Amino acid sequence: TLWRKALHKAFPNSGGKRTTVFTTASHVRSLRNRAAHHEPLIDGVPLPGQNDRRGRTRRLTLREAHTEVLRLVEYIDQDVAAWLGQTSRVPDLLHTRP
């Protein structure tokens, strides 16, 4: 189908499943929106429409959100994802978080 060809060209390392790309991109978008609107990230990134067993909005930890960013980049270009993973200061900053 049209989507498979376009998806494979845009995200050649994603495995070709639209749901895989959509889920990861949605998580990255949630992180981006929180940061762009200067909303707190310390308690994680809420995932709208996703609830835990207690009915609370599911959240990604900042470590999980960083992993999702790297995953989305990897879907596009593995070399860039490797470079970004090696040069990112985010893991060190999260490690020193009080």
Cross-strand pairs, 59: 46
Proportion of the chain above pLDDT 90, given as a percent: 81
Structure tokens at 6: 């376009």
Residue 22 pLDDT > 70: yes
44-60 pLDDT, tens digit per residue, is 999 988 998 999 999 99
**Which amino acid is located at 40 in the chain?**
P
Question: What does the CA dihedral 68, 39, 35, 82 come to, rounded to 10 degrees?
Answer: -30
Calculate the average pLDDT of the chain. Answer: 93
Residue 98 pLDDT > 60: no
Count Cβ atoms below 10 Å from residue 8 Cβ, excluding itself: 13
**Longest CA span, the chain:** 50
Instruction: Quickly state the pLDDT bin for 4 (edges 50, 70, 90).
Output: confident
